[in-house]
Structure 1
Amino acid sequence: MTGNFAPDAPSAPDAPVTFRPPSQTGAPLLEEVRQWFATYICTMTEADLDLLTLWAVHTHVATETYTTPRLLIDSPVPGSGKTTVLEHLSRLCLNAVQMASLSSPALLVRMLDVGMRTILIDEADRSLNPAKEGIAELYAVLNTGYKKGGSRPVLVPVKGGSWEAQEMSTFSPVAMAGNAPQLPDDTRERVIRVLLLPDVLGVVQESDWELIDDPAKELGARIVAWTDEVRDFIRANRPPLPEIVKGRARERWSPLMRVATAAGGRWPEAVRQLAIHDVERIQLEREEGIVQEKPAIALLQHTINIWPEEKNFISTASLIDRLIQNHPKTWGAESAFGKPLTAQRLGKMLVTSFNVHSIRPDREGPRGYSKVSFEKVWRGMGITRAGSDDPLKVTGASGATGASGAETAQLEIPDPLVIPEPIAAFVCTICRSETAFTLQKTDAGMACRKCHGANR
């Protein structure tokens, strides 16, 4: 086993083995790496130096951390030192390679299949422009390679002069530098960001590689030595993160927390604060309109906010009017779509994203939507009314007390009671269509009004 620490004896034959932390923590080494970055890099905040340090070190144990967050080195203006950061990372990270030196994504995948590399991408605002020809293949590599086991099929020659597809690994740490690059959503949600500023006050030193190349590589070698010592500890331990750090955010920050826990000292708390700030920043940007939610998700939140609590059905026209009136920049003529929301566009979003269909309660009345059809989606997506911290209190199909749909379906409905308001989604026992309105009890069970009339 690698490392200078021993496993604790299991309390039972089948109990998992856990590892004691190394007696010598890596906190002093991480502080030294941080000071190295502080000497040559001007960041927006001091915490960004912690982030650079942890990310550089984690590349040496990415296999043990299972996921590897993409690092975005961002700045508001050119000349802030983004390329300089990549130069330092190339000496401190695991087997770094500049993407500019590779001829194609296929070559990158072949290289990664041989062994782990840290990919460094400069001028990401141009080299990763979504409109660039052939960029989809590179994004596929970047997005699949953030988690251990990620792979892409690559054509390889076989005997007889033919070709066959072979799955090759794409798992690798990636650092991207650019001026606010326009990354796709699925790439951005895997990213943690460091923000640089121009050194207008002259507080950082110039990176004169003729003088500092050897010291940088020596520091990199010490990182290798320490990560080799704690590799098994990092693999065996999954320290907790704050409760609000969930889902994709947890995948971003868990690798750095594992490194920080192995190092000890102030570093675990530093990661906790970085992760909380990251989650809160994304939420604030979403609230301020900087980060745009997908239209279908915004539609869910807006519908629950504008839906009249006492109504179990709302016509399509009324729903659209309410959406436009309350959110004109999203659904009105001012929207990015360039024209007001239409019934066709509304229906397409609801059907394709959530399988919510419009209905016509009255044969001669308007089409619209039942609250029943929205409630399961609201619950499943964790959507609540604005200003409420409580889970969705269901009305209509599940009753004012939040009873489940299954409980509602078991309610006794005396014959020949007609239910004037939609209170549940039932399946007609005759035509098998789902309905949420004007149900009548027959000998065969619950029937829609059409079938009930035909079978009198």
Structure 2
Amino acid sequence: MPTTPALHLVGTSDNQQRPQTRAGAEVLDDVATFLSRFLVLPSEHCAPTIALWFAHTHAAHLFYATPRLILDSAEPGSGKTRVLEVGQYLVREPEMTISATTAALFRMVSAGPITILFDEVDAIFNPKNGGNYEDLRAMLNAGYKRSATIARCVGDAKAMKVERFPVYAPAALAGIAGHMPATITTRAITIHMRKRAPDEPVEEFLEEDVEGEAAPLREELAAWTEQASERLAGARPAMPAGVFDRSAEIWKPLIALADHAGGHWPDTARAACQHFVHATGGGTQSLGVRLLADLRDLFTARGVDRMTTVDILPALHGLDEAPWGDLYGKPLDPRRLSKELARYGVASKNIKQPGGHVAKGFRTDGEDGLVDAWRRYLPSAATSATDATAQVTPVADDEQVPLPALPDAEAGSGGSGSGNSSATALTRQVAPVAAVADNTSQPRTENPP
């Protein structure tokens, strides 16, 4: 069985003993290895991420935000609780709980720095259980930021006063997937745990042994982060490409610690960040964002800048593995389509059809068009209707724009197109297309010798 490195102690000015810190990279390596003795994790990025999260609990007071760590799985027995059990011997001031009341957590966080390790949290947030979890959700949301407080009235009727509770505290939450509020998951690093395969053995977890083996590592984490406190407090780590806003805020503490640790950790942390932010989409995609993405794909595939609702709905219903054909027991209908898109500032328009018929639908242009919503809520696409329609010159709904003339093989491409009467008019926006000369119809000018 691997052994934990011996701990060296040095004296301090107040005659107390504290660990003599090793290189941060070595300490983090040992934490990740220690964790991996008892768990089979889903990817190579998980153990380093959890090790950095454990370390950040000792330095959370130095940062302006503390990412929530969410451990979920499709089935019980997938290692979620084991991560918390290992963590309680490595994090700062652990508070392992299953059903603590929000009021109790308020008091504990207010009394001093703690790390909340909340197991079976799905039982609380599952709406089928009928519990009132809004206070807990508000506390976990607000406690993500160092400056956060929650105001509560305390005392009896005669002496009642408003008291503001500081609620900033690191929190790891474990539970069955699908029941975590989105307001929490957007402030979290989520690891989707899974059951071990029969050929994936781990060491037996005996708390009486683990506690003693983990103690030196916890002391080293505390000493190392304390020694680095000034540098960590002023850290402005560079984020991987495409990581910004909330995602950057979540990962800043972990990447700052990795940069200070040195060795392979700066690269390892950024690779993990890329994995969790990009490979997993940064969290569960909302229904509205999924709708915007599917519409962008649809408009791009058809090369159009407007579509009627009558055309949009069958196309959405026919998408493989999409929810639109059976949305809460019935297909997506015109009313729900308009309601969902209105939340993103997209409004339905009257789309004039050939023959003067008018039908409701959606356009890409304008402040309340789809392009603006795509740019704001979707990651950029290499080729999308956003790019295709952004440069379109607007025309009237009923204006007919002829197709560009096809080149005449005999007369060359410089003709007016009168020789080709098969081109049909389109009732849609078409960007002006300049005629391109064929190489065979225009001699190339040679450079002078």
Cα distance change of structure 1 residues 86 and 312 upon mapping to structure 2, 3 Å threshold: closer
Q: Percent identity?
A: 27
Q: Does 1:63 align with 2:61?
A: yes
Matched residue, 2:170: 173
Q: When the two structures are aligned, how many residues end up with a matched partner?
A: 376
Provide the residue aligned with 1:186 in structure 2: 183
Q: Give a deviation string over 1:46-73, Cα, whole Å, max 9, x none.
A: 4322222111111011122322222223
| 1:305 lines up with 2:297 in the alignment | yes
TM-score (norm 2): 0.72
Contact kept in structure 2, 1:112 and 1:169, CA below 8 Å: yes
Q: 2:361 aligns with which of 368, 373, 381?
A: 368
CA distance in structure 1 between the aligned counterparts of 2:240 and 2:29, rounded to whole angstroms: 23
**Could you tell me whether the CA contact under 8 Å between 2:98 and 2:120 is conserved in 1?**
no
Q: For residues 83 and 279 of structure 1, do their structure 2 counterparts lie closer, same or farther at Cα, with a shift above 3 Å needed?
A: closer
Contact 2:346 2:370 in 1 (8 A): no
Alignment match of 2:330 (pick from 322, 339, 345)? 339
Structure 1 equivalent of residue 121 of structure 2: 124
Q: 1:24 to 1:379 in 2, by over 3 A?
A: same
Gaps of 5+ in 2: 1-20, 402-427, 429-449
Say which SS state the counterpart of residue 148 (structure 1) adopts. coil
- CA contact 2:352–2:398 (8 Å) conserved in 1: no
Q: Which amino acid aligns with 1:356?
A: A
Superposed CA deviations along residues 342-388 of structure 1, whole A, max 9, x for unmatched, are 22222222333315243376997333334434155245426589761
Matched ranges for 1:1-80 at <5 A: 25-75=23-73, 77-80=75-78
* Superimposed CA distance per residue, residues 307-364 of structure 1 (whole angstroms, 9 cap, x where no aligned partner): 48776654333333443345794333xx233223322222222333315243376997
Matched residue, 2:146: 148
Aligned residue in 1 for 2:392: 399
For structure 1, list consecutive stretches of 5 or more residues without a partner in the other structure: 1-22, 401-407, 424-436, 438-456
Question: For residues 127 and 400 of structure 2, what CA distance do their matches in structure 1 show?
Answer: 46
Q: Give the residue type in structure 1 aligned to 2:309.
A: T
Structure 2 residue matching 1:166: 3-state secondary structure = strand
The 2-side partners of 1:355 and 1:77 are apart by 39
Aligned-partner SS, 2:153: strand
In the alignment, is the contact (CA less than 8 A) between 1:378 and 1:384 conserved in 2?
Answer: no
| 1:24-49: CA deviation from partner (whole Å, max 9, x where unpaired) | 63112222222322333333344322
**Going by fraction, where is helix more abundant, 1 or 2?**
1
C-alpha separation in 2, matches of 1:49 and 1:384: 28
Q: CA RMSD in A?
A: 3.6
Q: Are 1:75 and 1:196, in contact at CA under 8 Å, matched by a contact in 2?
A: yes
Corresponding letter in the other structure for 1:366: A
2:136 pairs with 125, 135, 138, which one?
138
Distance 1:31 1:384 in 2: 34
State the alpha-carbon separation in 1 of the partners of residues 400 and 229 from structure 2: 60
- Alignment partners' CA distance in 2, 1:311 and 1:391: 11
